[in-house]
Amino acid sequence: MDGNCEVFMEFFQTPPQLGHPYHNDKLLKSYLRRTLPHPFYELANKDLSRFGERVLSEMEPLSQLAESTPPIHVPFDPWGKRVDQIKVSEAWNRLHEIAAEEGIVATGYERKLDEFSRVYQFAKLYLYHPSSAIYSCPLAMTDGAARVLELFGTEEMKKKAYLFLTSRDPKTFWTSGQWMTERTGGSDVSGTSTIAKVEGDHFKLYGDKWFTSATTSQMAMTLARIEGDEKLSLFYLELRDAQGELQNIKINRLKDKMGTKALPTAELNLNGVPATLVGERGKGVKTIANLFNITRLYNACCAVGYMQRGIALSLDYSKKRVAFGRPLLKHGLHAQTLADLQVRFEASFLITFHAALLLGKEETGKADTVESGLLRLLIPLVKLYTAKEGVAIASEVIESFGGAGYIEDTGLPQLLRNAQVLAIWEGTTNVLSLDALRAIKKEKAGEYFVKDITRRMANIHNEDLLEMKKVISEASATVVSAFTQIIQEEELNTVARSLALSLSKILAASLLMEQAQWSLEHEKDSRSYLVLKHFLKRGLVEELVGSEEHQKENLTILGT
Ligand code: MFK
């Protein structure tokens, strides 16, 4: 056997290695240094350094174990009694405990960092999520439920459920479900057929829920129609009684999903479940919007967490994997592909964390009119934009590993499967585009958008950025001039998606510019400047089409 042959026989690919998720994240560290007042930064920096180590050493193995040990539905006990147990893995339970200990939800409500509490909380969530087997999903709903109870809960709910939802003690930490979807649809919830019958000062719920995520939660927020009412109301319920028995809830089955394998998602039958009205009767959708506006931001944060994880793994691999005589990273086209992913990730990161900043300001009474108005628009924008980018980036990451990316036990395919759900749940891209359009038409969100961009651009003074500043201002003007026509368009709203994507990109560009200026001046680092430059090359404004004529063409193209 000659020497060459031996080399070939002994060849094994070196797997990608995960580095410290906080220490290795230049953007996160720089963003926090820029955004948080110094004492808050010191606190966050220390905690995230410690937590990053825990993610690596403790959470990541648990996450892989939970992903490969899906929940099981046990409908009956051995003696024929209906029990409807959902058995989850020990790893999944540990991820619950870690979430409590780390205060992933509690941080947002303790508000120790005042208006910056949501930024700090989102930084922890962003590190937690990619190694949580999507335990972030129950946490999202828990956070949303806590917010609704904080705003609309009865005194009893505030003294009990709210404290459990925001607890740091794993023994008392509750999670909440958010049961909005019925067989009639997940987007148009007005078709909800669950009925609430009055029983003294309480209600009993009757109906079927078609998708209920994290069905092992202790409580849920759900929509139902009070008998005789036209509009939906919002209800609070506890799944089990004091003896631990399900309260007139049957689990029909667990869903067999494309991804989110560790997360139990069930179809339920409600047959007289005791429930309490939350908020105003008939204002269920408006009240639960406070919940899904939080879960939508979690969705964005988790999308960027996944982007970062995928790119980090791919980058590490590209330094080790040799093809055509050199490491992948030394191939110009490969480096360019990864750099493009990094640029897109940074744009998504900044709009997400900007939304978290505005949410924290809003909740602590520190947001001005422009910031509050912008937040209403920003929530659907960041959700839809980051979810779409998340799927595209995950797909590119998988491809960057070649065949290995397609192999289950590398742990890579789950990145794509789990990213895909982020574009579906909590409102699809089109539903959120229409929500953004509604905010522009009904709530003057377009005006706040323009004021926000103008304000941010006014703070850009660095000479190296002035040419690029013009590009952003011009893109903003182009979109704004289209508003008038868009607002008049009543029925079709075909422009909604391209408008939402354009607004997202313009906002992201302005935030990248703010980051670039700070980084040039305070860190003497031109990396963010280059990120901005490359982001702008991708173009900011989509074709803003939308007319009767266009719709006719679409139908003709589709052959109908
Ligand atoms: C890792 C992260 C994980 C997070 C995922 C957790 C698990 C996933 C579980 C789910 O996926 S649960 C299902 C999620 N489903 C949705 O998100 C529903 C998507 N559909 C929509 O968002 C529709 O736009 C909507 C259901 C809201 C439309 O319903 P309607 O009945 O046609 O409502 P309408 O009439 O448009 O609005 C009713 C009121 O709510 C209005 O106020 P007014 O009564 O004062 O006019 C609206 O302005 C208000 N509203 C609606 N959307 C709002 C809102 N207010 C603030 N923000 C919003 N986004």
Rounded to an integer, what distance in angstroms lies between the CA atom of residue 433 and that of residue 379?
Answer: 11
Q: For residue 500, give the H/E element and its range.
A: helix 496-518
- Summarised one tens digit per residue, pLDDT across range 301-345 is 999 999 999 999 999 999 999 999 999 999 999 999 999 999 999
The finding on whether 285 has its CB within 6 A of some atom of ligand 1 is: yes
- pLDDT band, very low/low/confident/very high, at 215 (cuts 50, 70, 90): confident
pLDDT at 356: 98
Which one is predicted more confidently, 314 or 551?
314
- pLDDT band, very low/low/confident/very high, at 13 (cuts 50, 70, 90): confident
Domain of 236, in residue numbers? 176-284
- pLDDT band, very low/low/confident/very high, at 553 (cuts 50, 70, 90): confident
Q: Indicate if 135 and 245 belong to the same structural domain.
A: no
The finding on whether 426 has its CB within 6 A of some atom of ligand 1 is: yes
pLDDT average, residue stretch 389-414: 96
pLDDT at 491: 63
Domain membership of residue 293 (yes or no) is no
pLDDT at 558: 92
Q: Which of 284, 318, 338 is the last residue of a domain?
A: 284
- Summarised one tens digit per residue, pLDDT across range 45-85 is 999 999 999 999 999 999 999 999 999 999 999 999 999 99
Q: Indicate if 128 and 234 belong to the same structural domain.
A: no
pLDDT at 192: 93
Rounded to an integer, what distance in angstroms lies between the CA atom of residue 330 and that of residue 136?
Answer: 36
The finding on whether 518 has its CB within 6 A of some atom of ligand 1 is: no
pLDDT at 120 over 90: yes
Atom of ligand 1 nearest to the CA of 376: 57
The finding on whether 424 has its CB within 6 A of some atom of ligand 1 is: no
- pLDDT band, very low/low/confident/very high, at 201 (cuts 50, 70, 90): confident
The finding on whether 282 has its CB within 6 A of some atom of ligand 1 is: no
Which residue's CA is the nearest one to ligand 1's atom 20?
Answer: 187
Which residue's CA is the nearest one to ligand 1's atom 48?
Answer: 286
- Summarised one tens digit per residue, pLDDT across range 517-529 is 999 999 999 999 9
Q: For residue 385, give the H/E element and its range.
A: helix 369-400
Flag whether the pTM goes above 0.75.
yes
Atom of ligand 1 nearest to the CA of 141: 6
**Summary mean pLDDT of the chain:** 94
Domain membership of residue 1 (yes or no) is no
The finding on whether 289 has its CB within 6 A of some atom of ligand 1 is: yes
Domain membership of residue 15 (yes or no) is no
pLDDT at 1 over 60: no
Which residue's CA is the nearest one to ligand 1's atom 35?
Answer: 285
pLDDT at 3 over 70: no
pLDDT average, residue stretch 481-490: 73
Domain count, the chain: 3
pLDDT at 550: 80
Q: Indicate if 129 and 192 belong to the same structural domain.
A: no
Q: Which of 252, 284, 316 is the last residue of a domain?
A: 284
The finding on whether 295 has its CB within 6 A of some atom of ligand 1 is: yes
Q: Indicate if 159 and 233 belong to the same structural domain.
A: no
pLDDT average, residue stretch 121-146: 98
- pLDDT band, very low/low/confident/very high, at 298 (cuts 50, 70, 90): very high
The finding on whether 429 has its CB within 6 A of some atom of ligand 1 is: no
pLDDT at 552 over 90: no
- pLDDT band, very low/low/confident/very high, at 231 (cuts 50, 70, 90): very high
134: CATH: 1.10.540
- pLDDT band, very low/low/confident/very high, at 2 (cuts 50, 70, 90): very low
pLDDT at 548: 76
Let me know: does 139 contact 122? Beta carbons within 8 Å. no
Matching residue, tokens 């998708």: 211
Q: Indicate if 113 and 184 belong to the same structural domain.
A: no
pLDDT at 6 over 60: no
Q: How far is ligand 1, taken at its centre, from the CA of residue 142, in Å?
A: 17
Which residue's CA is the nearest one to ligand 1's atom 22?
Answer: 427
- pLDDT band, very low/low/confident/very high, at 461 (cuts 50, 70, 90): very high
- pLDDT band, very low/low/confident/very high, at 554 (cuts 50, 70, 90): confident
Q: Indicate if 156 and 201 belong to the same structural domain.
A: no
Rounded to an integer, what distance in angstroms lies between the CA atom of residue 247 and that of residue 133?
Answer: 28
Domain membership of residue 384 (yes or no) is no
- pLDDT band, very low/low/confident/very high, at 189 (cuts 50, 70, 90): confident
Q: Indicate if 149 and 219 belong to the same structural domain.
A: no
pLDDT average, residue stretch 407-424: 96
pLDDT at 198 over 70: yes
The finding on whether 113 has its CB within 6 A of some atom of ligand 1 is: no
Which mutation among 143, 175, 189, 296 tests ligand 1's pocket best, with the greatest number of atoms within 8 A of CB?
Answer: 189
Q: Indicate if 45 and 126 belong to the same structural domain.
A: yes
Over 402-470, what HEC string results? HHHHHCHHHCCHHHHHHHHHHCCCCCCHHHHHHHHHHHHHHHCHHHHHHHHHHHHHHCCCCHHHHHHHH
Burial of 389 (0-12, 13-18, 19+ CB in 10 A): buried
pLDDT average, residue stretch 537-554: 85
The finding on whether 423 has its CB within 6 A of some atom of ligand 1 is: no
Let me know: does 204 contact 283? Beta carbons within 8 Å. no
Question: Count H helices, E strands: the chain?
Answer: 20, 11
Atom of ligand 1 nearest to the CA of 179: 12
Domain membership of residue 206 (yes or no) is yes
199: CATH: 2.40.110.20
- The residue type found at 510 is S
Domain membership of residue 290 (yes or no) is no
Rounded to an integer, what distance in angstroms lies between the CA atom of residue 511 and that of residue 170?
Answer: 37
Closest by CA to 293, choosing from 113, 148, 124, 185, is 148
pLDDT at 486 over 90: no
Q: How far is ligand 1, taken at its centre, from the CA of residue 285, in Å?
A: 6
pLDDT at 5 over 60: no
The finding on whether 265 has its CB within 6 A of some atom of ligand 1 is: no
Q: How far is ligand 1, taken at its centre, from the CA of residue 427, in Å?
A: 8
The finding on whether 31 has its CB within 6 A of some atom of ligand 1 is: no
Q: Indicate if 517 and 555 belong to the same structural domain.
A: yes
Burial of 213 (0-12, 13-18, 19+ CB in 10 A): buried
- pLDDT band, very low/low/confident/very high, at 9 (cuts 50, 70, 90): low
Q: Indicate if 141 and 184 belong to the same structural domain.
A: no
Provide, rounded to the nearest whole percent, the portion of the chain with pLDDT above 70.
Answer: 97
Which residue's CA is the nearest one to ligand 1's atom 28?
Answer: 188
pLDDT at 139 over 50: yes
- Summarised one tens digit per residue, pLDDT across range 161-176 is 999 999 999 999 999 9
Rounded to an integer, what distance in angstroms lies between the CA atom of residue 515 and that of residue 35?
Answer: 10
The finding on whether 180 has its CB within 6 A of some atom of ligand 1 is: yes
Q: Which of 284, 318, 340 is the last residue of a domain?
A: 284
pLDDT average, residue stretch 550-559: 88
What per-residue string of b and e applies to 440-455 under the rule 16 or more CB within 10 Å gives b?
Answer: bbeeebbbbbbbbbee
State the virtual CA torsion across 203, 206, 211, 212 in degrees, nearest 10: 40
Q: How far is CA 534 from the centre of its chain?
A: 25
Q: How far is ligand 1, taken at its centre, from the CA of residue 292, in Å?
A: 7
Q: Indicate if 159 and 194 belong to the same structural domain.
A: no
pLDDT at 467: 95
pLDDT at 406: 96
Q: Indicate if 157 and 233 belong to the same structural domain.
A: no
Atom of ligand 1 nearest to the CA of 295: 4
What per-residue string of b and e applies to 490-515 under the rule 16 or more CB within 10 Å gives b?
Answer: eeebbbbbbbbbbbbbbbbbbbbbbb
Q: How far is ligand 1, taken at its centre, from the CA of residue 523, in Å?
A: 42
Closest by CA to 173, choosing from 217, 119, 213, 110, is 217
Q: How far is ligand 1, taken at its centre, from the CA of residue 138, in Å?
A: 18
- pLDDT band, very low/low/confident/very high, at 24 (cuts 50, 70, 90): very high
Which residue's CA is the nearest one to ligand 1's atom 42?
Answer: 286
Domain membership of residue 316 (yes or no) is no
The finding on whether 137 has its CB within 6 A of some atom of ligand 1 is: yes
pLDDT at 194: 96
Domain membership of residue 546 (yes or no) is yes
Q: How far is ligand 1, taken at its centre, from the CA of residue 246, in Å?
A: 28
pLDDT average, residue stretch 533-541: 97
